[in-house]
């Protein structure tokens, strides 16, 4: 899952980004509203963490512009505790949830997991496809109760396919969501990761749709 983090406080930005990366998210960071707006308008994200009080362009304006342009990714806004008006403005502009500062980073992580799950139509922290189970909270997967040993990229691939069960996902889409903005992306490596994943979960669960991409569903 690929996350856009827009926060002008350097320390908080760094802490949140590290926590997200430790949980196997791909993270792009911006430190002002104009940069964040540009990334959110031009890159695909599974969720956005957006501070309200940003330089260059405030968070509410950024969000309002995205929604007017038809960008519908889930957005979690960060607000100051005593600025209830910011919360209202953010929700009215199209935010999906908010967290007030100061906050526990674990709360932000939990809310992001929930937003991504709900956006994909999943209500719980465990997503299943036949005997395969993905524990989103614990960042782990099992087959018939046996823990899978996955690399970071294999987990990200499995997670994205599990969140989008039944959908045909192109190699380009997978590449965009598995690597951060600055990574030298090569869609051919997706085939390698799919091959490794099939060896670990069974070949029947990930179907190749010729010329289009991959689809994960029960055979």
Binned at pLDDT 50, 70 and 90, residue 137 comes out as confident
In 31-125, which ranges are E strands?
A: 47-51, 75-80, 97-101
Q: So what's the pLDDT on residue 182?
A: 60
Q: So what's the pLDDT on residue 89?
A: 86
Quick one: 111 and 130 in the same domain? no
Q: So what's the pLDDT on residue 188?
A: 72
The answer to whether the CB of 115 falls within 8 A of the CB of 97 is yes
Total number of domains in the chain: 2
Q: So what's the pLDDT on residue 26?
A: 92
Q: Report the candidate in 117, 69, 126 with the shortest Cα–Cα distance to residue 96.
A: 117
- Taking residues 59-69, what's their average pLDDT? 95
Kind and range of the H or E element at 141? strand 140-143
Kindly report the average pLDDT of the chain as a whole number.
90
The answer to whether the CB of 31 falls within 8 A of the CB of 49 is no
Quick one: 111 and 137 in the same domain? no
Quick one: 151 and 111 in the same domain? no
Higher per-residue confidence, 122 vs 21:
21
Quick one: 12 and 66 in the same domain? yes
Quick one: 82 and 102 in the same domain? yes
- Taking residues 177-186, what's their average pLDDT? 67
- CATH code of the domain in which 178 resides: 1.10.10.10
Q: What backbone phi and psi angles, to 5 degrees, belong to 71?
A: -80, 120
Q: Evaluate if residue 187 carries a pLDDT over 80.
A: no
Q: DSSP code of 195? A: H
Determine the length of the chain: 219
Long-range contacts of 74-77 (CB under 8 A, 24+ apart): 74/46, 74/47, 74/48, 74/115, 74/116, 74/118, 74/119, 75/47, 75/48, 75/50, 76/47, 76/48, 76/49, 76/50, 76/108, 76/111, 76/112, 76/115, 77/50, 77/51, 77/52
Helix (H, G, I), strand (E, B) or coil at 156: helix
Residue 15 domain boundaries: 2-119
Q: So what's the pLDDT on residue 159?
A: 93
- CATH code of the domain in which 115 resides: 3.40.50.2300
The answer to whether the CB of 209 falls within 8 A of the CB of 219 is no
Quick one: 99 and 135 in the same domain? no
Quick one: 44 and 92 in the same domain? yes
Quick one: 66 and 37 in the same domain? yes
Q: So what's the pLDDT on residue 181?
A: 63
Kindly report, residue by residue over 65-119, the tens digit of the pLDDT: 999 999 999 999 998 866 778 888 888 999 999 999 888 889 999 999 999 988 8
Q: Report the candidate in 217, 185, 150 with the shortest Cα–Cα distance to residue 141.
A: 150
Those residues with Cβ within 8 angstroms of residue 184's Cβ, 6 or more apart along the chain or in another chain: none
Kindly report, residue by residue over 8-58, the tens digit of the pLDDT: 999 999 999 999 999 989 999 999 999 999 999 999 999 999 999 999 999
Binned at pLDDT 50, 70 and 90, residue 143 comes out as very high
């Amino acid at each position: 899952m690929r996350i856009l983090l827009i926060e002008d406080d350097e320390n908080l930005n760094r802490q949140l980004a590290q926590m997200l990366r430790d949980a196997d998210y791909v993270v792009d960071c911006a430190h002002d509203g104009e940069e964040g707006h540009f990334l959110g308008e031009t890159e695909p994200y599974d969720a956005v963490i957006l501070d309200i009080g940003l330089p260059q362009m405030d968070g509410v304006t950024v969000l309002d512009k995205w929604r007017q342009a038809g960008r519908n990714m889930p957005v979690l806004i960060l607000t100051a505790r005593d600025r209830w008006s910011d919360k209202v403005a953010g929700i009215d502009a199209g935010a999906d949830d908010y967290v007030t500062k100061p906050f526990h980073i674990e709360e932000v992580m939990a809310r992001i997991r929930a937003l991504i799950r709900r956006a994909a139509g999943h209500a719980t922290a465990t997503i299943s496809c036949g005997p395969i189970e993905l524990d989103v909270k614990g960042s782990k997967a099992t087959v018939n109760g046996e823990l899978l040993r996955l690399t970071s990229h294999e987990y990200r691939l499995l997670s994205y396919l599990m969140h989008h069960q039944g959908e045909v996902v192109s190699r380009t889409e997978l590449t965009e969501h598995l690597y951060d903005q600055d990574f030298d992306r090569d869609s051919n490596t997706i085939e390698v990761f799919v091959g490794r994943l099939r060896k670990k979960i069974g070949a029947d669960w990930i179907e190749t749709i010729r010329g289009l991409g991959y689809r994960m569903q029960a055979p």
